[in-house]
Amino acid sequence: MSDLQDQVAVVVGSSSGMGRATAIGLADRGAKVVLAARRRDKLEELASEIGTNTLVCVVDVEDTEQVEALIRSTLDAFGRIDILVYATGTNIPERSLQDLSYETWNMMINTNLTGAFYCTKAVLPVMRQQQAGLIIYLSSGCVQSPDMSGVSYQATKCGMSGLAHGTFKEEQENGVRTTVIFPGLCDTPLVFKRPTPTPPDVMAKALQPQDVADACLFVATLPERARVPELVLLPAGL
């Protein structure tokens, strides 16, 4: 399929999990894909798998200069940015309020939320000039149904929802659309950071990264007149 032919998509957090699956899906639909994350080896491996029309950009989302360099490199290579997917996210085993330190709280905020803000801030001038653009934020089902994923994780994922909706309200007149996706339990490397292992029978019913990628592709392939503010994606068997 080529319904995203000639569009340029930046996928932040594309080295694994949902971001990786989304990058592959966007490329399969004809998009030129910028693969952004911290692990060069994983990005280059993915670029080789996808083939042509990819750009590897090593970026630490907590560094504004690196984020701005990501946007500049994309423009130098492809001339525009139609889609930004923020799929970067982390969690920690010591996630209870009792165990959470000031340092780990700040790390969680910086990676999961501040990084999303930096990427949004950097890409908006491009989308304003184009009078078109789509930003997809991968949040978490814990926003809809609070769980034991930890207060710092839940705070960042709730904050991402506010970032998405606030950005749209301010930028809709410039043709910028936003979507925030709330996936439930998904079989990604993040699951292995849980303090207590998830039982195999539960994991057997979890979402797969491809399910989240398909949700992103659904949103990305809609006409510009249409917008999905929020999309909740949950395992049917849990």
Decide if 153 is catalytic: yes
Could you tell me the CA-to-CA distances from 151 to 53, 109, 197 in Å, in that order? Answer: 40, 11, 19
Q: Which of 86, 118, 137, 153 is catalytic?
A: 153
Q: Which residues are catalytic?
A: 153
